[in-house]
C-alpha cells in the first residue's frame, strides 16, 4: 500500500486491487463514523481511496502506512433491483466480444450480483463490478455524443447506468426506467459506493 | 411593494448563482462547485449584511444588468467594473441602495474576469444538496441566468457594514501559483517536471469554472496509458494527453484518469479565478505544509 500526499490537506491511499480499495473504504468510513477520523470527503475509486479535508495529513499518512490491510467488509445491506430491458444498440457487439449469443449476455448480466465500487463521471453514476474478468469489453472507438438517460452500459470491467443523457463511450446493452438521481429524493443517489445491485429483466420483477 | 425578487435584464456572457458550494458529496460524483473567488463573494455579502454563505451572482467578463422589484442594498466586488443605477455611476465594492424598479448595471470587467453581486437577503433559489450554486459540470443547481430570469430574494437580516470602500486585491498581472508536487509527478519526465515549475504559461481562453487551462510547454509523460480513475481535489493540476496542464477549479470532476502532476494551494485559487485569458502564469514549487 502507498499513501500519497495530495496538496496540503488530502491523501491518496493506493492499493493493488479493487477488493483492497473496498476494504480500505469501509475501514475509513468506519473510522469517520466512530469519530477517530475527520475527513470532509472519502472518495473510493478503482485502486485508491482519496481523503480530503484532513487536519493532520502527515500524522494520518504515517498511521495508515503502518496499518494492516483491513478485512473485507461483509456483504451487508439490501440489494437494489434495477429493472432492465436488454435492448441496447451494442448488445450484438458485446455478444461478439464475449463469444456468445445476445440472449446469453442478458442471462449472464442479470445473473450477476454487482457492487458499486465507486461513483463519478456524473452525480449518481456508479461504476459497478461483479462480472468475471473474461467479460471485460473495450470502450467504443467513437463515443456517442448523446447516450440516453437510463442506458445500461459496459466498459472495461464495469457496468454503469447513465443517470441523464450525456456523451459517452460505453457499450449500451439495455435500458431502464429506474431513476438513478433525483435531488428531491433522500437519498438523491439510488447507487452509492458499496451498494449491492441486481439487474432484473423486465417482466421478471419482484423475484429475488 | 413586497415582491422580493430580482429580474434579469441582461444576463451577460455567463452569470450564475453561487454560494459556498456543496462539498461532502464527491463520493456520489457531485462536484463541490461554489464561487470561484470565494473571498470576493464573502466580502460583498458582508457589505450588504448577509451571512458569508448567502448566494450571490458571479458574472463572467461582460457583467449583467438587473432590475429589483423592491428596494434593495447591493454590493459589487471581485473583478473591478463600472457600476450604475439608472445610468448614474455608483461605487464599486461598497453597499449601494437600489430603488424598486431601478436598473442596476454591472459593467464589463475593467480587469479580472468575475464580478460578484450580493443583494441583501441573498438569492433564494431552491437549494440542491444544501447549496444554491450552479454547477456547470453536472448541471446541478439553477441554470445560468438568462434575460428575463426572475430570481427570488431572501429577507434582509443583519446590519450592512459601515465602510465606504472595502479592500480587494487587484486581479493579477502575472499569476503565480504555488504548487506541491504529486501525487503523480512520477508519471512525467524529469524535464517535464522542471519545465512545469520553471517555464511561463499563459491563461487560455478555453478556461472555465471547471478548470483553468494554460498554454505553454507541453509536459511529456514518462509512461504511457491512463491511470485507473482516482479521486481528485480542488487545485489539482491534471495533464491530459496533449500535455497542457489544467488547474481544477470548483466545478471539477470528482474522479479522473489523467495524472495529476501537482496541486495548487487553495489560497492561490481566487487569483486564478480572476486571471484573464493571456495572463502569464508561473507554477512555483512549494513544499506541502
Tens-digit pLDDT profile for residues A171-201: 999 999 999 999 999 999 999 999 999 999 9
Residues belonging to chain A with any Cβ–Cβ distance to chain B shorter than 8 Å: 4-8, 10, 12, 14, 40-50, 52-53, 57, 118-125, 127, 164, 183, 188-189, 192-193
ipTM of the complex: 0.93
Q: Is A143 helix (H, G, I), strand (E, B) or coil?
A: coil
Query: Side by side, which strands form the sheet with A41-44?
Result: A2-6, A10-14, A48-52, A41-44
The pLDDT of A59-79, averaged and rounded, is: 89
Q: How far is CA A10 from the centre of its chain?
A: 22
Q: What pLDDT is attached to residue A76?
A: 75
Q: Is the pLDDT of residue A22 over 90?
A: yes
Contacts of B248 in chain A (CB under 8 A): none
- Structural domains of chain B, with CATH: 5-152 (no CATH), 175-285 (2.40.100.10)
Q: What is the mean pLDDT of residues A41-54?
A: 97
Q: Does a cis peptide bond (omega within 30 degrees of 0) precede residue A187?
A: yes
The closest alpha carbon to B270, from B111, B75, B41, B93, belongs to: B41
- The pTM of the full predicted model, rounded to 2 decimals, is 0.94
Report the topology of domain A79-201. Answer: Cyclophilin (2.40.100)
Q: Which residues of chain B have pLDDT under 50?
A: 1
Counting Cβ atoms within 10 Å, is residue B66 exposed (0-12), middle (13-18) or buried (19+)?
A: buried
Which pLDDT value is given to residue B166? 64
Q: What are the backbone dihedrals phi and psi of residue B238, each rounded to the nearest 5 degrees, phi first? A: -90, 145
Q: Return the residue matching grid coordinates 482519496.
A: A50
B229 with A46: Cβ contact below 8 A: yes
Out of A6, A53, A127, name the one closest to residue B183 (CB). Answer: A6
Round to the nearest angstrom and report the end-to-end CA distance of chain A: 38
DSSP string covering A11-67: EEEE-SSHHHHHHHHHHHHHHHHHTS---SEEEE-SSEEEEES-S-HHHHHHHHHHS
Integer CA distances (angstroms), B109 to A73, B12, B78, B81, B275, in order: 54, 11, 9, 5, 11
- pLDDT at res. B242: 92
Residues of chain A with CATH 3.30.1360.40: 2-66
Interface test with B, best of A6, A40, A160 (most B CBs within 10 A): A6
The confidence score (pLDDT) of residue A18 equals 92
> Is the four-CA dihedral B69, B75, B76, B78 of positive or negative sign?
negative
pLDDT computed for residue A208 by the predictor:
39
The 10s digit of each residue's pLDDT in B108-126 is 999 999 999 999 999 999 9
Pick the CATH number of A2-66 from 3.40.50.620, 3.40.50.1860, 3.10.310.30, 3.30.1360.40: 3.30.1360.40
Q: What is the residue-averaged pLDDT of chain A?
A: 93
DSSP code of residue A156: B
Chain B residues within an 8 Å CB radius of A189: 28
Exposure string over B147-160, b if 16+ CB within 10 A, otherwise e: eebebebbebeeeb
> Which pLDDT belongs to residue A203?
62
Nearest CB among B29, B140, B230 relative to A119 is that of: B29
Grid cell 494551494 is found at B265
* Cα distance from N-terminal residue to C-terminal residue, chain B: 54
CATH 2.40.100.10 range(s) for chain A read 79-201
Question: Considering only CA atoms, which of B273, B235, B15, B257 is closest in space to residue B136?
Answer: B15
Mean pLDDT of A15-24: 94
In this structure, the number of other CB atoms found within 10 A of the CB of residue B205 comes to: 11
From residue B110, alpha-carbon distances to A168, B79, B170, B174 in Å are 40, 7, 11, 16
> Would you say B52 and B20 are in contact if contact means Cβ atoms under 8 Å apart?
yes
Contact A7 B230 (CB under 8 A): no
Amino acid at each position: 500500500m502507498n499513501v500519497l500526499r495530495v496538496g496540503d490537506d488530502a491523501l491518496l491511499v493506493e492499493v493493488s486491487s479493487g477488493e483492497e480499495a473496498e476494504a480500505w473504504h469501509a475501514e475509513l468510513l468506519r473510522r469517520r463514523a466512530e469519530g477517530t477520523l475527520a475527513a470532509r470527503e472519502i472518495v473510493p475509486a478503482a485502486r485508491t481511496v482519496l481523503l480530503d479535508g484532513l487536519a493532520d495529513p502527515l500524522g494520518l499518512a504515517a498511521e495508515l502506512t503502518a496499518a494492516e490491510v483491513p478485512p473485507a467488509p461483509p456483504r451487508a445491506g439490501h440489494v437494489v433491483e434495477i429493472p432492465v430491458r436488454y435492448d441496447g444498440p451494442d448488445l450484438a457487439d458485446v455478444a461478439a466480444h464475449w463469444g456468445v449469443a445476445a440472449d446469453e449476455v442478458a442471462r449472464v448480466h442479470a445473473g450477476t450480483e454487482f457492487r458499486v465500487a465507486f461513483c463519478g463521471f456524473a452525480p449518481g453514476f456508479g461504476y459497478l463490478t461483479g462480472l468475471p474478468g473474461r467479460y471485460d469489453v473495450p470502450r467504443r472507438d467513437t463515443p456517442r455524443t448523446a447516450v440516453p438517460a437510463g442506458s445500461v452500459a459496459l466498459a472495461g470491467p464495469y457496468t454503469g447506468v447513465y443517470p441523464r443523457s450525456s456523451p459517452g463511450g460505453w457499450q449500451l446493452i439495455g435500458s431502464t426506467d429506474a431513476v438513478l438521481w433525483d435531488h428531491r429524493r433522500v437519498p438523491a443517489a439510488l447507487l452509492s459506493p458499496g451498494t449491492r445491485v441486481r439487474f432484473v429483466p423486465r417482466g421478471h420483477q419482484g423475484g429475488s | 411593494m413586497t415582491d422580493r425578487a430580482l429580474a434579469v435584464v441582461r444576463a451577460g456572457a455567463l452569470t450564475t448563482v453561487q454560494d459556498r458550494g456543496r462539498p461532502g458529496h464527491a463520493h456520489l460524483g457531485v462536484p463541490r462547485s461554489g464561487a470561484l473567488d470565494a473571498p470576493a463573494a464573502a466580502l460583498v455579502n458582508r457589505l450588504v449584511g448577509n451571512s458569508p454563505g448567502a448566494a450571490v451572482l458571479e458574472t463572467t467578463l461582460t457583467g449583467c444588468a438587473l432590475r429589483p422589484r423592491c428596494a434593495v442594498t447591493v454590493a459589487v466586488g471581485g473583478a473591478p467594473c463600472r457600476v450604475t443605477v439608472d445610468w448614474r455611476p455608483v461605487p464599486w465594492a461598497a453597499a449601494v441602495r437600489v430603488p424598486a424598479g431601478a436598473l442596476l448595471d454591472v459593467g464589463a470587467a475593467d480587469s479580472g474576469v468575475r464580478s460578484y453581486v450580493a443583494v441583501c437577503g441573498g438569492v433564494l433559489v431552491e437549494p440542491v444538496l444544501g447549496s444554491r450554486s450552479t454547477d456547470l459540470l453536472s448541471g446541478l443547481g439553477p441554470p445560468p441566468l438568462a434575460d428575463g430570469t426572475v430570481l427570488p430574494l431572501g429577507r434582509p437580516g443583519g446590519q450592512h457594514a459601515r465602510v465606504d470602500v472595502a479592500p480587494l486585491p487587484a486581479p493579477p498581472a502575472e499569476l503565480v501559483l504555488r504548487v506541491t508536487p504529486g501525487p503523480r509527478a512520477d508519471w512525467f519526465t524529469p524535464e517535464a517536471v522542471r519545465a512545469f515549475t520553471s517555464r511561463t504559461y499563459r491563461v487560455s481562453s478555453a478556461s472555465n469554472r471547471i478548470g483553468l487551462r494554460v498554454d505553454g510547454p507541453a509536459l511529456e509523460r514518462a509512461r504511457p496509458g491512463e491511470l485507473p480513475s482516482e479521486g481528485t481535489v480542488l487545485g489539482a493540476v491534471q495533464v491530459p494527453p496533449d500535455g497542457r496542464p489544467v488547474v481544477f477549479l470548483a466545478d471539477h470532476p470528482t474522479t479522473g484518469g489523467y495524472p495529476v502532476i501537482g496541486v495548487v494551494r487553495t489560497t492561490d485559487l481566487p487569483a486564478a479565478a480572476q486571471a484573464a485569458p493571456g495572463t502569464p502564469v508561473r507554477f512555483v514549487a512549494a513544499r506541502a505544509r
